[in-house]
């Protein structure tokens, strides 16, 4: 089980991976809206703006690609939790923007994160 950020040491691999993903996405022109958004349904690692699109981003780290790697670990159940959490976030906005769900996969062998846009949908 992933612990909320306030319970994770700042040098944990999860925190390092999220920082790496954030830096990479900012280099690609995205702007950070929120990091580690929590509600009763779950957690979203990064919420960013890609021009006029609100992007909900799941960051996954795996030491290696055995058993399918980082992207394979985003199960249908995990996707459903992210979607419910995103709906909770959107309910707080006056106007619902165009949205998408992206994934960032990081492993020890890769120099750069693998960014999958529209990784899944509602």
Structure-block tokens of residue 83: 């979607």
Q: What is the pLDDT of residue 93?
A: 95
Host H or E run for residue 54: strand 53-62
Contact (CB, 8 A) for 48 and 31: yes
Average of pLDDT values for 67-93? 86
Non-local (6+) Cβ contacts of 18 within 8 A are: 35, 36, 45, 46, 59
Domain boundaries, the chain: 10-120
Q: What is the pLDDT averaged over residues 77-84?
A: 95
CA distance 43 to 81: 8
Read off the pLDDT of residues 16-51 as tens digits, 9 standing for 90 and up: 889 999 999 999 999 999 999 999 999 999 999 999
Annotation: CATH topology of 10-120:
Trna Endonuclease; Chain: A, domain 1 (3.40.1350)
Sign of the alpha-carbon torsion through 76, 90, 100, 60: negative
pLDDT at residue number 7: 53
pLDDT in tens, 50-63: 999 999 999 988 76
Whether residue 107 contacts residue 63, with contact meaning beta carbons closer than 8 Å, is answered with yes
Report in angstroms the alpha-carbon separations of 73 from 21, 49, 51, 105: 17, 24, 28, 10
Over 70: is that where the pLDDT of 66 sits? no
Instruction: Note the pTM of the prediction, 2 decimals.
Output: 0.85
């Amino acid at each position: 089980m992933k612990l909320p950020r306030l319970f994770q040491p700042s040098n944990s691999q999860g925190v390092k991976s999220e920082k790496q993903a954030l830096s990479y996405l900012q280099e690609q022109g995205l702007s950070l809206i929120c990091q580690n958004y929590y509600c009763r349904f779950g957690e979203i690692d990064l919420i960013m703006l890609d021009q006029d699109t609100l992007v909900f981003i799941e960051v996954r780290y795996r030491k290696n690609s055995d058993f399918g790697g980082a992207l394979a670990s985003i199960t249908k159940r995990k996707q459903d939790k992210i979607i419910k959490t995103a709906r909770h976030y959107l309910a707080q906005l006056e106007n619902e923007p165009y949205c998408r769900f992206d994934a960032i996969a990081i492993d020890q062998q890769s120099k750069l994160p693998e960014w999958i846009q529209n990784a899944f949908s509602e």
